[in-house]
Amino acid sequence: MKQRVFRGRGAKLLFAALCVVLVAGCANVPLESQPVVVSGERQGQGSGDVVPEPKPDSDPLTLVRDFIGATLKPGQNNAAARAYLDEQGRANWHPSRSLTIIQDTFGTVYDPAPQPDPNTLVVNVRGIDVGTLDQSSAFVPDYNPAALKVKVRKQANGQWRIVDPPPDLYATESDFSENYTAVPVNFYSEQSATFVPDRRYVVAKPQSGLPSRVMYLLVNGPSTSLAGSVKNLLGEPVEIDTNVKSLDDGTLLVPLTGLSGVADDIRNLIAAQIVLTLQYVTSARIRILADGAPLVANHPDWRSNDLPSYGANLSPNLALLGLMTVDGRVRSLGDGAPVGGPAGNGGYDVVSAAQSIDGKRLAVVERDSGRVRLRIGDLGHDLPLAGLGGTTLSRPTWRPGTGEVWTVVDQVSVGRLVVNQNNQWTALTVNATDLTQQGYISELRFSHDGARVAAVIKGQLWVASVVGTGDSVALREPRLLQSHDLNDVVGVDWVAQDMLVVATRSPSQPVVRVTVDGQRMDAFNSSNLTPQVHGVAAAQSRSIVVADANGLWTASALGEVWRPQPHSLKDADPFYPG
């Protein structure tokens, strides 16, 4: 019997509900932010599991705490949590697909409102919601007081049980991390001709079902945060034909249907989308079939090293060592020498600058008579005015795959510079209302794939998606990341497509790494740094460079002690191409 992928809103609800049911399977999430292959099984996941009853004579406060702690325990249909309900609740509780994640340190207190029946009490959960797992298994950050009230009633046997259980599931951060693993589900960006990771969270156990769970996320499309920015090559009428499964020789079989008439170039992209996504949950060969035949003729089996290097032109050549602005001039991070032309010899009073990804062009913000204006041209030569100015301009950023330059004008509007065949620059507008209404923008940086921007708004970190092509471009779905623990942000850059490095004024956490969805933040070693840090430069496969009160410092890993940059200069601001 074929197992089809159902589509549409009802299908997504059904799939999300199945994901919640699959909370029965549990495993450890990798301690590092980057997903890894998960192996091993945990016993006791069948429908016949023996679920222990709550501790006898538990008071209502303890009962509710233990109920939340049981949410993600093994057992079908949330059996472990269901054990804390009264008989009617056990039979009728159908929690929604939403999973609210709260801080580990939460409390339970009795509701102060008087209760007419001493055998019926209301327990308030006091804590902080840090986010939710939405219907597409994407993390949506939040930071608000928990709004959970739980009614408990003493039963005929003298034991307290929950009645009218909450409609949504609640779990602590530790329990969530123990039971879910992060997987970058990849979708295609036509704008930059590369794949964009959409960070999702799937139940980690049983491990044998991980590829199937991830494939269902893939065919159901991108999360809300990337909708409009990327394309799902596995959209309708493509479906998973039968179960995704391991064959006797260890090969993982991915059987598709609905691909009749699809061109060869699209078939190759579909193969890449699948392999790039599944590489995080399997090390096996992946056999991709379309209606029973190889998806790509003469290439039935795939590994990640079979794929071309998508987006290679979006990463700066390692020979481009980066630049810095200092004392109104642009200098090389490689040897400290000034670049050629007025940007390096003092002909322009440079406030900030950005080098194109191919290294050939330079955009600089120049101070002139109390105002600033933008110049763009060939590196080492005169840089013509680009027709954009104001009281302030943010450090420019190059949009990958387009040759465009963006900057924030007077912290309230996003300017977009487009060049024509005659090397003349035209300023176009960006519909950035969703982002600018959050406050004044001091920094804007494109991700390496061009699908997202990171922004610093009123000292906080935001991420938004880039939607549209041609003359119509908008910034959508802004998300505030780590709103409670990450403040006084002064700089941001992308160390990977789904990972940011952030510089702050905080003396205790001057440099941190944050996942693109804000689900995790890790602090770099602060040794050797002197407050205040005021700049950061990061790029794929590069050392991170930060600027503090004494100069420039480099590091490559979280726990690594910062080392002096060989050509450090006081008050320098570093930047890599992009």
CATH number of 494's domain: 2.120.10.30
Same domain, 205 and 305: yes
Beta bridge partners of 415: 407, 429
Handedness of CA 516, 522, 524, 527 (dihedral sign): positive
DSSP state of 467: E
Tens of pLDDT, residue by residue, the chain (578 residues): 444 443 443 443 334 444 433 333 333 223 233 333 333 332 223 344 567 789 999 999 999 999 999 999 877 788 999 999 999 999 999 998 789 999 999 999 999 999 899 999 999 999 999 999 998 999 999 999 998 999 999 999 999 999 989 999 999 999 999 999 999 999 999 999 999 999 999 999 889 999 999 999 999 999 999 999 999 999 889 999 989 999 999 999 999 999 999 999 999 999 999 999 999 999 999 999 999 999 999 999 999 999 999 988 888 888 999 999 999 999 999 999 999 999 999 999 999 999 999 999 999 999 999 999 999 999 999 999 998 999 999 999 999 989 999 999 999 999 999 999 888 999 998 999 999 999 999 999 999 999 999 999 999 999 999 998 777 999 999 999 999 999 999 999 999 999 999 999 999 999 999 999 999 999 999 999 999 999 999 998 899 999 999 999 999 999 999 999 999 999 999 999 99
Q: Which of 173, 221, 229 is nearest to 196 (CA)?
A: 229
190 lies in the same domain as 132: no
Provide the phi-psi class of 188: left if phi over 0, else alpha when psi is between -120 and 50, else beta: beta
Residue 128: beta bridge partners?
A: 145
Same domain? For 141 and 204 the reply is: no
Residue with tokens 């055998």: 119
Q: Is residue 337 part of a domain?
A: no
| Token pair of 532 as six digits | 């205040």
- Residue 329 lies inside a defined structural domain of this protein: no
Q: Which of 145, 178, 211 is the last residue of a domain?
A: 178
In a domain? residue 322: no
Q: Are residues 132 and 193 in the same domain?
A: no
Do 545 and 414 belong together in one domain?
Answer: yes
The answer on 242 and 126 residing in a single domain is no
SS3 content of the chain, % helix, strand, coil (to 5): 15, 35, 45
Distance between CA atoms of residues 219 and 222, nearest Å:
9
Say if 453 falls within a structural domain: yes
Looking at the fold, whether 210 and 154 belong to one and the same domain comes out as no
321 assigned to some structural domain: no
Q: Are residues 188 and 165 in the same domain?
A: no
**Does any domain span residue 363?**
no
Within-domain flag for 438: yes
**Prediction pTM value:** 0.89
Q: Which domain holds residue 185?
A: 181-311
Strand partners, 294: 289
- Give the chain's end-to-end CA distance (angstroms, integer): 51
The verdict on 208 and 250 lying in the same domain is yes
Task: Region of 474 please: left (phi>0), alpha (psi -120 to 50) or beta.
Answer: beta
Among residues 275, 294, 311, the one where a domain terminates is 311
CB 556 within 8 A of CB 543: yes
Residue 158 and residue 271 in one domain: no
Radius of gyration of the chain measured on its C-alpha atoms: 26
CA distance 31 to 35: 9
The CA distance from 316 to 359, in Å, is: 7
Contact by Cβ (8 Å): 338, 324: no
Same domain, 92 and 132: yes
Point out the domain boundary residue: 160, 178, 196: 178
Residue 465 domain flag: yes
Query: How many independent structural domains does the chain possess?
Result: 3
Entry field: residues in the chain = 578
Are 195 and 170 within one domain? no
